[in-house]
Amino acid sequence: MHKHGSAKANTEMILGGDLTRAILCLAVPIMINNLIQTMYNLTDTYWLGKLQTTRMAAISLVSPMQNVIIQFGQGITMAGAILISQYVGARDVEKAKSMANHIFVCSLIFALVCGLLCFLFTPAVVGWLGAEGDVYTLGITYIRIVICDLPFLFMINIYSAVSQAQGDTLRPMQLNMLGIIINMILDPLFIMGFKWDIAGAAFATFLAKIPCAVIAFIAVTKGRNEIRINLRGFRFSTSMFRNIISVGLPTALGSSTMQLGFLLMTKNVLMYGDGAMAAYGIGNRINSIITMPANALGGAVSTIVGQNVGARQLDRAVESYRKGRLMSVVFLFVLGLILSKFLSRPIVGIFSSDERVILMASDFLSIMAFWCFTNGVYNTTTGIFNGAGNTIVTMIVEAARLWIWRFLTLYIFRTFFHMGVESVWYCVVASNGISALIIYILYKAGLWRMRIGRLVNADN
């Protein structure tokens, strides 16, 4: 009998079982896991929102800076998940284990180096963003503390990548649930109880990651899954490293350059004041929850496509993508319609009592929620490209989504239509829709197949 959460059983289902069930078995834990990850920021946002708008503005300003590092590093772990899933599909357990070891070493070295650089250059970057006074001071305080959790966060991500590649998305979800429970306890204690202000939010997030990272390390080295990390006799393989770079670097560059673009977006929002900055941060955080089904289904499609590409079952890979896309678009369209019409203002009101912020944030959220179904097309189509190892296309489309389409539409809305802060709200949905259409056209043109056969067949 199939046991949900068993990596071996899930692999059999992915390669030969019911695809709808396989997609849901992978996507639901991923979605809950993503929700749990987002709850770190939402918990900080909720408690800091009870203090002053400047706290909200500070955390909204510096979060993209933190995300630049996180997204670049996650490009490495995503490469691991893709490559390991292809080796699993090809039944090459030894190469899958070797790839897991390489991902572990590369990710932790990256986390330590980038954490140090980010700590040193934070004041210069925050000043360049245009922050002044309390927003400047509080932003530096927050980012310098939370950036210290990078090695622990990456350890958790490595465990998630190795597990997801084998079809196990349940246990990473349970691990992150532990982290958010700790964070939800520590946040009010540090912020309101100890009066540590924004530093309390940062310390709560940092400390919550430590026990999770320890458990992740034990699980990924001594756990029950077939693919585990074992550095005894580890030998660095140049071909493995090239595979990680060829798959991971485009993903890392695409995601991190998009986050760099978000830094520039914050400069554009900050010109409308701290209230607009706080509204932008609240709207983005809530929108990240709305679009989680698309992200989760995209992750599930990527894993299923990866294993079936490794097993040379391309028709099954395409079928999984089509099913995942349909689920994502229908769900997001219905959810977005409900949120945009009835729930945007009540939800925003949870995070702020400032009427100016509530008005702007609810307007932003209504617009994004109504058009969020385009994320369903974008994320699942990205999933089939990534699962096939063709991350160069997704890198280009991802970077263009912000650096070309978002800034271009922002300029048009602001300059020719004189829309003020609403130009920011509408440029977000316009750039998302354009990018979804472009990547779907590229899929129909067959570009997702370009790298099939180059990675799994590479000699170790």
pLDDT one-digit tens code per residue, 174-190 = 898 899 899 989 999 99
Residue 2 in domain: no
Residue 457 in domain: no
Residue 280 in domain: yes
H helix intervals, 50-169: 53-89, 93-128, 133-146, 150-165
Nearest to 374 by CA among 286, 441, 437: 437
The average confidence (pLDDT) of the chain is 86
The pTM (predicted TM-score) of the whole model is: 0.76
The predicted-structure confidence for 118-171, as pLDDT tens digits, reads as follows 888 889 988 887 788 888 999 899 889 988 888 898 899 899 888 888 888 788
The predicted-structure confidence for 330-386, as pLDDT tens digits, reads as follows 999 999 999 888 888 999 988 888 888 999 999 999 999 999 999 999 999 999 999
State the residue for tokens 């004189």. 418
Q: pLDDT above 70 covers what percent of the chain?
A: 95
DSSP per-residue codes, 369-411: HHTTHHHHHHHHHHHHHHHTT-HHHHHHHHHHIIIIIIHHHHH
Residue 426 in domain: yes
Nearest to 78 by CA among 213, 288, 216, 255: 255
Residue 261 in domain: yes
Residue 460 in domain: no
The predicted-structure confidence for 357-368, as pLDDT tens digits, reads as follows 999 999 999 999
Q: What is the pLDDT of residue 399?
A: 86
Residue 456 in domain: no
What average pLDDT does this structure show over 418-447?
94
Name which of 72-86, 191-205, 327-341 the model is least confident about: 72-86
DSSP assigned state of 92: -
Residue 454 in domain: no
Q: Are 138 and 56 in contact (CB under 8 A)?
A: no
What average pLDDT does this structure show over 208-224?
90
Would the pLDDT of 312 be above 50?
yes
Q: How many domains does the chain have?
A: 1
Domain range enclosing 15: 7-449
What end-to-end distance do the CA atoms of the chain give, in Å?
35
